Amino acid sequence: MDKEKVLRDADATFDRVSRTTSVSYGATHATKPNTSPSYKSARIRKTYDANVQGDVMDAKAAIKGYVKGK
Amino acid sequence: MPSKKTGGFIPNPLFSKAVIRSRYRDLFYQCTSFKESWNVSEPIKHDFDGSILYAITVCAMHDIARYKIYHLQDPALEKLDAIKRAAFYTKWITRLHPFYAVRRGTIVKKYDDHDKIFFANESFALSFALNQLRADDRVKVNYRISPELWAALLYDMKYRVLSEDAYIETYQMIFDDSLGQRPTLQ
């Protein structure tokens, strides 16, 4: 197998396909904006993590309060 | 929809078009290599579609980018391990099926239930994944899984519903086995 020829074919196909294909089949996440926290920047991810931790703390406080109330 | 600036290319949040092109070249080369060996050993010839390979590369790289952004401290610098890469590529190869049978006139072969030709895409996905795992320095270059495990995995890829998480766990266990360790889960 001629590796150089195969790679030239690969480059030509990539150029042709990337100009014309929008990858609409299967990859719905690739064509629509993803608004999930996992898709945002690292800074937002950290904020998200902090919020999740905050939720956990709130839950703990709520449980504590519930137990105290009992 | 394709953007006007980049044509049909959909920008990836982490990887440039040049990086995706290099991944596409790797995948294309491995597909060609697989096709040549497959067509020597199997009675019905197969070929692959370059545009589907493109979709596989783009989708897998989007998955990889999303995983890195969410799980790594520095997504731009840290690399994903071979297990995750193998899992994401397996997911998209088994969904989009780049290989197809080339029909030449009349069918000269009868099919049977255990025919390998039904599993061309799954065979390629698994061999590609094992090549990814072997790219890790700790794994022996000639590491192979047992024929029984190979057949079971092909069957599961074809007839079961496996997510990328299931592939990550499976490849993690294969990776541990290749190092001579007890299998662990992520």
Burial class (CB in 10 A: 0-12, 13-18, 19+), B156: middle
Does residue A20 belong to the interface with chain B, where contact is any CB pair within 8 Å?
yes
Inter-chain touch A6–B28, beta carbons under 8 Å: yes
Does residue A25 belong to the interface with chain B, where contact is any CB pair within 8 Å?
yes
Report long-range pairs for A27-35 (Cβ below 8 Å, ≥24 apart): A27/B55, A27/B58, A27/B59, A27/B62, A29/B62, A29/B66, A30/B10, A30/B58, A30/B59, A30/B62, A31/B1, A31/B10, A34/B66
**pLDDT tens track for B9-32:** 667 778 888 999 999 999 999 999
Q: Walk me through the domains of chain B, giving residue ranges and CATH numbers.
A: 17-103+115-178 (1.20.120)
Does residue A49 belong to the interface with chain B, where contact is any CB pair within 8 Å?
no
Is the ipTM above a cut-off of 0.85?
Answer: no
**pLDDT tens track for B105-127:** 556 666 666 677 789 999 999 99
